[in-house]
Structures are given as C-alpha cells and as structure tokens.
Amino acid sequence: MKILLASVGVVVLASLAALALYGTSLPNGKDSVEQPRNGEQIQTPTEVEPELPADLRAHIESKSDLIVVDYPKPLQTITSPITVRGMARGTWFFEADFPLYLVNWDGLIIAQSHASAVLDPNDPESTWMTEDFVEFEGTLEFENPSFEQEFSQRGTIIFQRDNPSGLPENDDALEIPIMFEPPAPTGNGNGTIDGNGPRPCTLEAKICPDGSAVGRTGPNCEFAPCPGASKY
C-alpha cells in the first residue's frame, strides 16, 4: 500500500501543479439572448462548466473505459461530507469496494474512505464480479483545509483501483480535481473591505488601567475606549 500511495502521490502532485499553473480563474459564461415581449433583446449569462487544463482532461479521458465519475464534476466546489457517485468496471473493485482518498493542494491525504458497488438486492444477477460497468457510491468526511491564499482551495479526489495482489502492474487510479470552499471571514466584522462589505478586525485586546480588556472595533478597527476614559 505504501508503494501504491507513493506512485499515486507523484501523479497527484503533477495534477496539482497543473492546477497551480492553470489557477483558479474560471471562464466567463457565454451570453444568451432572451426575447422579451416588448421585442427588446436582453443579454443574460448562461452557466458553463470550467475548462480543464489539457493534461487533466487527457488523464480523465484515458480512464473513461474503466471508471467514470458522475459527481463531483472536475473543479466543482465541495463541502463535507461529500458523497461521490459514478460507475466502474467490476475489475476496479475487490469485495465490492475500492479505496477513496482526498488530498489537499500539497498532496497531503486529509480524508480516506471507500466506494462500494451499488447492487440490487432483488436481482440475483446484480454483482460486482463482472467486467461490465457497476455503479458505485462513497462518502468522504473532512475538515476544510483552505485558508486565505487561493492555491489552498485546490484539491483532488483519488479513485484508486483495489489491488489485493500488490503487484505494481495492477495499480491504477483516477484523479478528479476539486475546489474547497474559501474560509469564512473571522473577527467582529465591523470594518469594511475597500468599502464593500465587512472586514474582520484582528482579535487583539488592550488591557485598561482598571484591569479590564477592550478589543478593536469600528470601521478603522481601533481599540474601544477603556471604561471611564475620555473620548477626547
């Protein structure tokens, strides 16, 4: 397993490097035209999927005859817990399962679980022991690893082929790049950012002469007056 994770890790870091070069900017939605009743044309944006770098797209397409992920889509923003879904050849499973890993921007594993074949208990012919595609589902729980820098919002879900033999030639994995939610603002939120919305003040305290403490507040994040202190 250590050898397998090491080999998978090389590919993960390569994929994350491609995302780093690509950045987190997404293409603008193309405009569509609505025809209102008064005959005037109004431009409204239509939602488009983010464009993947060519090497990541090629990686996903190269595995499409073995495993296909329906959810999440590449570069989709995820939250915990996330339930992944798709279908894979029966040879991707062992005992109806295969490993799942979630790594952060640096390739560090922050969650691991397994995906299980979705079988019909009422169908005696429903089995994972086949060379055909079998639906799967699995759940990952994790703590959001992102912080202020945008690169920290990138990650990858690894759908690893189960390889009980341990033979390197049987190793395989599909990697789907995802995005983590940006971190929530912290502080008291009384300030502003460029005049647009709240800006968190730093969580510092000033000790007053009477031993009490006051924090920063207001649009300029200044220390509040000490009790009994003059405002002038």
CATH at residue 63: 2.60.40.2550
Asked whether the CA dihedral 124, 68, 90, 136 is positive or negative, the reply is negative
Taking residues 156-177, what's their average pLDDT?
Answer: 96
Q: Indicate if the pLDDT at residue 28 is higher than 70.
A: no
Let me know: does 126 contact 120? Beta carbons within 8 Å. Answer: yes
pLDDT at 149 over 60: yes
Residue 96 has pLDDT above 60, yes or no: yes
What is the mean predicted confidence (pLDDT) over 102-123?
95
pLDDT exceeds 50 at position 140: yes
Q: What pLDDT was estimated at residue 27?
A: 40
Number of domains forming the structure of the chain: 2
- Is the pLDDT confidence value at 91 over 90? yes
Q: Is residue 133 part of a domain?
A: yes
- pLDDT-derived band at 206 (thresholds 50, 70, 90) equals confident
Query: Whole-angstrom Cα distance, residue 91 to residue 71?
Result: 21
Residue at 43 is within a domain:
no
Both 156 and 55 in one domain: the answer is yes
- Residue 129's pLDDT band (boundaries 50, 70, 90)? very high
Same domain, 171 and 191: no
Domain that holds residue 203: 185-232
How much is the pTM? 0.64
The rounded distance, in Å, linking the Cα atoms of 232 and 45 is 53
123 and 204 together in one domain: no
Say yes or no: 225 and 175 in one domain: no
Torsion of CA 10, 12, 16, 18, to 10 degrees: 70
Same structural domain, 17 and 57: yes
Q: Identify the top-confidence range among 16-20, 123-127, 172-176.
A: 172-176
17 belongs to a structural domain: yes
* Amino acid 31: pLDDT: 42
User: Can you say whether residue 76 is alpha, beta or left, with left for phi > 0 and alpha for psi between -120 and 50 degrees?
Assistant: beta
Whether residue 199 sits in one domain with residue 158: no
Q: 226 in a domain, yes or no?
A: yes
pLDDT of residue 198 exceeding 60: no
Residue 26: the pLDDT is 40
Residue 40 lies in a domain: no
